[in-house]
Amino acid sequence: MSALAGSDKRCIDASARELRRIPVQGSPEGVLDALTRCAPIACGLVGTMSDRDPPSVASHLLRLPPEVSDGWATTPRAHLTRMLAPLVPASPGTLISETESITGQFREELELLRRLRAAGLGEAAGYKVSAMPREAGARAHCFMTFALEDGQTFTREHRHLLARLQPAVHAALERLCVPLVASQSILAQIVEEQTIGYMCLSRSGAIVEVNERLHALVRRFLRAARVEDGRGALAQFAGRALDETRGQRSWCLEHEDGSTHVKISVHHLAKETHIIGEDLQLVIMQEIPTLQREKSLLGEAVPPMCQTPQLTAALGELDDVEQKIVVAMVTTKSQNKQIAIEMGLGLRAFEKRVQRIASKLNIHVSRGTRVRPVLMRRLMSR
């Protein structure tokens, strides 16, 4: 065995030992620390992507400078898809550098690469960790991206060592529940990802996971939230959201053109009930078209067709939570799961509430019939 081969083996063994020692409640940064034995890695992130929609989701940011994480967040979806596309057919353990996948005019268009260089970082690369089956025949691909130290590039030796370490990296990320849920992003257990913007925060307020919809909404409502655009804007917005929603309040922002507003709420996710490695705070942003508002007894927006004395009297029999459920059903197209989350209710508790509303409003449905459509028709007819 050559001296170089012996050095490789010692490096791989040492990194694998570090990866195996990462505890269940550990930090994904431990994975990055273990891999720096085999390559001069400065920072990176962990993410998932599907070979179908939705697009990639960054699950954990690992020592990324704020300007680089902002650059990732603001990279157009089409560009992210193109950047990461070579990882979809790649075998686990494959490392694909930016110079291989980002060339020509496309390289000139990417603001993210300029931010990497401005932050004093070297070459970047994507690293395929694993591929897992998803619903309807799709596959979810777990990946890491690395940025090297200033002026460094990935060598053939780096690729060889990282490929050999793939099983240990995969095992460590699974032990840490990263990505947060093995087959899908955290909120996909609850709602469709494209309809609601969300991000998960750790107890310390650090951003753990964020979807593309939330990035778009934050940028659209930055001015309304009185947050300056630029470096660290997403983290500042997250801090404001936590402050404004204390005591389980909702935070509403209206766009400057008056066309839409967003409702922002924060929910606690316990690790015991959501298959996650730590307790998290879930920030949800829902954009709602601004309606022609007339204040009802609920103090909410109700379509004119529903503003009748009969309905007002009927709603007066409901408690505050039931009234809000009715308003959400009448004024939005949100699914029941989505409304339940917005109100901090479990789906089963929400459905019981709907049944109780139907009973109070003398709406009778046969067994097995969905209550909401019947309730909607009755309310609209009133």
Give the SS3 label for residue 333. Answer: coil
Domains 3-175 and 304-381 equal at CATH topology level? no
Which residue reads 């619903």 in tokens?
135
Report d(CA 142, CA 183) in Å as an integer.
9
Q: What is the domain class of 3-175 according to CATH?
A: alpha beta
Q: What is the domain class of 186-289 according to CATH?
A: alpha beta
Report d(CA 265, CA 241) in Å as an integer.
8
pLDDT number for residue 98:
92
CA-based nearest residue to 232, from 242, 240, 224:
240
Q: Please name every residue paired with 208 in a beta bridge, in sequence order, or none if there are none.
A: none
pLDDT number for residue 166:
94
How many Cα atoms are found within 13 Å in the side-chain-facing hemisphere of 326? 33
The pLDDT averaged over each successive group of 10 residues in the chain (382 residues) is 62 92 80 92 88 65 85 82 90 93 88 91 93 70 91 91 94 74 43 64 82 83 87 88 82 80 82 67 79 37 44 64 77 74 78 81 64 65 51
Q: Is 125:145 a contact under the CB 8 Å cutoff?
A: yes
Structure tokens at 189: 């257990």
pLDDT number for residue 339:
81
Q: Residue 295 CB: number of other CB atoms within 10 A?
A: 10
Report d(CA 366, CA 342) in Å as an integer.
28
pLDDT number for residue 201:
87
Report d(CA 382, CA 378) in Å as an integer.
6
Phi, psi of 44 (to 5 degrees): 180, -165
Cis peptide before 55 (omega within 30 of 0): no
Structure tokens at 140: 């979810």
pLDDT number for residue 213:
78
pLDDT number for residue 307:
46
Which architecture does CATH list for 304-381?
Orthogonal Bundle (1.10)
C-alpha distances in Å from residue 217, one per residue of 193, 198, 255: 13, 10, 10
Q: Is 126:101 a contact under the CB 8 Å cutoff?
A: yes
Report d(CA 29, CA 238) in Å as an integer.
21
Show Cβ contacts of residue 99 under 8 Å, excluding neighbours closer than 6 positions: 123, 153
Q: Please name every residue paired with 198 in a beta bridge, in sequence order, or none if there are none.
A: 284
Q: What is the DSSP annotation of 155-201?
A: -HHHHHHHHHTHHHHHHHHHHTTSSSSSSS-GGGGTS-TTTSEEEEE
Q: What is the CA radius of gyration of the chain?
A: 24
Query: What sign results for the dihedral spanned by CA atoms 110, 113, 117, 118?
Result: positive
pLDDT number for residue 79:
87
Beta strands across the sheet bearing 207-210: 95-97, 124-133, 139-148, 41-50, 57-62, 207-210, 197-201, 280-289, 260-269, 251-254
CA-based nearest residue to 132, from 160, 173, 98:
173
Structure tokens at 109: 């268009």
Domains of the chain, by residue range, sit at 3-175, 186-289, 304-381
CA-based nearest residue to 194, from 178, 215, 211, 208:
211
